[in-house]
Amino acid sequence: MNERVLHVITQLELGGAQQNTLYTCAHLDRARYAPVLACGPGGYLDDEARSLPGVPVHFLSSLVRPVRPHLDAAALAALVRLMRRLRPAIVHTHSSKAGILGRWAAWMAGVPRVVHSIHGFGFHDGQNPAVRGAYVAAERAVSGFTDAFIAVSHANREEGIARRIFTAEKCRVIRSGVDLSRYRAAGERRGELRRELGLAPEDPLVGMIACLKPQKAPADFVEVARRVLAAEPRATFVLAGDGELRGEVEARIAQVPQGAERIRLLGWRRDTDRIVADLDVLLLTSRWEGLPRVLPEAMASGLPIVATAVNGSPEAVAEGETGHLAPAGDVALMASRVVELLRDPEKRRRMGEAGRVRSAEWDIDAMVRAQEALYESLLSEPTLVTAATR
């Protein structure tokens, strides 16, 4: 029997959680599951969602990323109506906003099984304590409606346990997968980005692939670039992504000597394999994370990494083996590590090869099969809470 699985995510922006949700919907075993997707409109990946064969997509206009009480109440009501009409066997929520509203709605609609994927928590140490406490309280409130949690990193799992959001037995780690074959073959595209940018093969090239939002700290990326350029003036930095902080990033670039020439904003890009193929070093300046899929993508392509040691990132980047780690915000250390790697081609090669081996853990098809195994385990258990009492 085909069991209907409704995936709920806030918005389909160009990010790992969104791309992996679409991949899961497209590749679930159709002999066993019938995937459906619900999300807010206006995301970069909306058209890709619409083109998924055999996957109905429901765009809910009231489901938005910011906290908006009147819209949030409307989104909750819309989700309840949708779930009562579709009667899914499983609701699988993603991201903080959709995770809260989707799980409340599943409880109100009497959905038998509820799964939530943690792609990094909505709270972090940089927030106002009252705001952070409110997010934690909200997560605890819907935890009782959740049959199973998926964490993309052990760090997120351990934090959830420590904050009493869930118990150890309710949460398992399933890596946020990537298409390893695509990135292992990235070398075939070497030279394409450099030709696009007008760079010579020997010109040092450092890049970051990330949304321009506070989580990714793009201003830190610009500051690292400024410091590296003072030591290696022939280097070029590229930042692939876009978002709310673009204006601030452009203003900071304008303050860097020759910044307009040496720090390039590429905007949203889907050809990330083409980008990493030409980089000498991948840089990631995030202030908090789940476990960003750009790290295993870079590793699979044989690229050394300099990243911040936040949340799950150290589970991908092994210090001194596949790259270097620095505390969040430590732009001086990140810059020195980038300079060190740019001046040592043999070290870059050695770290890149180690990354290729380590990346095997992030196979995207293994991710889908692991989710299917979780669904099977939930569906095989007797339903302890009935639709009437959920």
Confidence of residue 1 (pLDDT cuts 50, 70, 90): low
Sequence-distant (≥ 6) Cβ neighbours of residue 320 within 8 angstroms: none
* pLDDT above 90 for 314: yes
Neighbouring CB atoms inside 10 A of 184's CB total: 16
| pTM of the predicted protein model | 0.87
Q: Residue 370 carries which side chain, given as an amino acid letter?
A: A
Torsion of CA 324, 330, 332, 335, to 10 degrees: 40
Q: Residue 214 carries which side chain, given as an amino acid letter?
A: P
- pLDDT, residue 126, reads 77
**Cβ proximity of 23 and 53 under 8 Å:** no
Q: What is the pLDDT of residues 294-304, one digit of tens each?
A: 999 999 999 99
Confidence of residue 127 (pLDDT cuts 50, 70, 90): confident
Domains of the chain from N-terminus onward: 3-177+364-379 (3.40.50.2000), 180-361 (3.40.50.2000)
Give CA–CA dist 309/302, Å, rounded: 20
3-state secondary structure of 282: strand
List strand residue ranges (DSSP E) for the chain, in order. Answer: 3-11, 33-40, 57-59, 90-94, 113-118, 148-151, 171-173, 205-209, 236-240, 263-267, 281-284, 305-308, 323-326
Sequence-distant (≥ 6) Cβ neighbours of residue 281 within 8 angstroms: 206, 207, 303, 304, 305, 306, 338, 341, 342, 348
- pLDDT, residue 383, reads 65
**Cβ proximity of 33 and 368 under 8 Å:** no
List strand residue ranges (DSSP E) for 279-327, in order. Answer: 281-284, 305-308, 323-326
Q: Which two tokens stand for residue 165?
A: 């959001």
